[in-house]
Amino acid sequence: MRETSSPAVGGLVSDARIAAFVGSSAGYYRREFERLGRATGYVTSLNPAAAVLGPLWLAARRLWGWFWPFLILKTLAVVQLCRGLFADLGADEFARAGRLAQSAATRREEAEEALAAGAGNAGALTESALALEAASREALRVAEGAAATAPALVVLGVALLVAAKLVQGLVANHALSRRYFRSRPSSSMRGVASVSSIAAMALYLGAVYGFSAYRFSSGDVPAWLAMFPASRAWRRKVESAIDQAFQWMTESWAGLFTGTTNGIRLLLDGMETLLVGTPWPVVMGVIVLLAYRMAGARVAVFTAASLAYLGVFGFWERRMTTVALLGSAALLCLVAGIPLGIWCARSPRVHAMVRPILDLMQTMPSFVYLIPVIAFFGIGKPPGILATVVFGMPPVVRLTILGLNGVPAAVREAALAYGASRTQLLLKVDLPLAMPSIMAGINQTILMCLSMVVIASLIGAKGLGEEVLDALAYANEGKGVLAGLAILFCAMVLDRIVQGSVPSTKR
């Protein structure tokens, strides 16, 4: 086959490579790719096939980044067009107007009978009839207005359809040429899907357009299309099975749950004794000095001002209780999370098993954590700490893995060449180089644990979250704002202190 190339595009546009990439119309695409490759700015290039075939052309060319927006746009155009042509737009309002008119006529008859009989409610019945007649006229007006929008919907659907086809025709060659030039010259990657894939995608697009148009244009939609067919019997059986499983675990593992609760309560009592029982000047001085040593004078001043705010407005004891809860939860997260992250970074098999669990912990709504926690551990501060641990552990695990995997291989090989053992490699090479990422994970874990304060207070964890709940229960805006600012200042102080240790680690 004759080879032709354009010097402007480095010889990448050749008949052989174009034919291998596009499959058909190689000459057309060679000319367009050469023209687009030589251009320094935007060049108009209209692809008639892409404009006519729409998203099917994008799927056939594997341009999935463009496929989904044009699919949504064309589906919207088809729906609007079918609504304007086939849908009875004012049917519901016309039916409502008829029902109201019938009720008004009935009420009018009742009013006339009451008036003839001299009953005292004749005036009220007359007013009710007049109100129903007014509502019927309003519903009729709305129905007529809805029916009158049919031509506008047809015009809108046609305009969207034409615009989508025109825009797709204009971007098609640009998108395909960009994909072509980004592929390696020696690559055998084809730019067109197989015939079976194209046929399957055509069926898929037909189903999308057909079901969408039928759903929004038909007045009598089958129940299976309007709503996903559900089985309430299956749901009740599964719910019953889950309840029985929770009950069995609660009875069988009662000793484990009790021991865990007692251990957490012991840790929490120590934290509360240290933070709540110690005189406030001592605690405040230690925190401000810690902020100064780790983050500098400005953070120390901000910390002192935040602590003064907590003390002046009466949040000091609850703040220390919150810090004790947070400290216990964060300590458990770090003690379990950092070793787990190290293990996952060194064992891909363990990482593959742990990753779905981390995904579950991060994506499950926060309130859902409270269900098994209450079932197994009851209510109070230890269950609140456990729920916080589940919510806050994933960041430190993930960022520990990320930091250790980001250690340059050349540095590790050099350490091994100098005779470093596995322990020395971990403690003196891997962890120091991964420390910025690990510290970011620690920071995120602490802040996520603090964000659970309000939710954990729902099960008796107390602290500043209880102030927010009281404000919500009694619609006390002032109390809620002050308590929210207290939580905000706690978060900012913790963030600044933890982040203050990162620069020294980098040095």
pLDDT string in tens for the chain (507-residue length): 343 444 445 455 566 777 778 877 888 888 888 888 887 778 889 999 999 999 999 999 889 999 999 999 999 999 999 988 888 888 888 888 888 889 888 888 888 888 887 777 778 888 888 898 898 889 888 888 888 888 899 999 999 999 999 999 999 999 988 888 877 555 455 667 888 988 999 999 999 999 988 888 887 777 777 777 777 888 889 889 988 988 888 888 888 888 888 888 888 888 777 777 778 888 888 888 988 888 788 888 988 998 888 888 888 887 788 888 888 888 888 899 999 999 999 898 999 999 999 888 888 877 777 888 888 888 888 888 888 888 888 999 999 999 999 888 888 889 888 888 888 888 888 888 988 899 888 888 888 888 777 777 777 777 777 777 777 777 778 878 888 888 888 878 887 887 776 544 444
Residue that finishes a domain, picked among 123, 148, 173: 148
Are residues 142 and 203 part of one domain?
Answer: no
Residues 133 and 164 grouped into a single domain: no
Residues 98, 71, single domain; the answer is no
What pLDDT was estimated at residue 427? 87
pLDDT at 14: 64
Position 117: which residue type?
A
Q: Which of 148, 170, 195 is the last residue in one of the domains?
A: 148
Tell whether 175 is covered by a domain. Answer: yes
Let me know whether 389 and 424 are in one domain: yes
- As a whole number of angstroms, the distance between CA 226 and CA 206 comes to 18
Q: Which of 192, 226, 260 is the last residue of a domain?
A: 226
Is residue 132, in this structure, part of any structural domain at all? yes
Hey, what long-range contacts does 294-300 have (CB within 8 A, 24 or more apart)? Answer: 294/497, 294/500, 294/501, 295/496, 295/497, 295/499, 295/500, 295/501, 296/500, 299/496, 299/497, 299/500
* pLDDT of res. 6: 43
pLDDT of 190:
66
| Residues 365 and 291 placed together within one structural domain of the fold | yes
Residues 278 and 390 in one domain: yes
Is residue 397 a part of any domain in this protein?
yes
Q: Same domain for 187 and 257?
A: no
Number of domain units in the chain = 3
Task: With respect to residue 243, please indicate whether it lies within any of the assigned structural domains.
Answer: no
Give me the half-sphere count of Cα atoms (radius 13 Å) on the Cβ side of residue 160: 20
Domain assignment present for 497: yes
Domain for residue 236, yes or no? no
342 lies in the same domain as 212 = no
Task: Note the pLDDT of residue 497.
Answer: 80
Domain contains 60: yes
Question: How far apart, in whole angstroms, are the C-alpha atoms of residue 272 and residue 247?
Answer: 33
Q: Say if residue 166 is in the same domain as residue 286.
A: no
Please report, as a single letter, which amino acid is at residue 222: P
Helix (H, G, I), strand (E, B) or coil at 481: helix
Closest CA to 330 of 118, 119, 468, 498: 498
Instruction: Output the domain CATH number for residue 496.
Output: 1.10.3720.10
Query: Quick one: 194 and 328 in the same domain?
Result: no
**What was the pLDDT predicted at 142?**
87
Same domain, 281 and 375: yes
**Residues 132 and 162 grouped into a single domain:** no
- What domain range is 162 assigned to? 7-87+152-226
In a domain, 234, yes or no: no
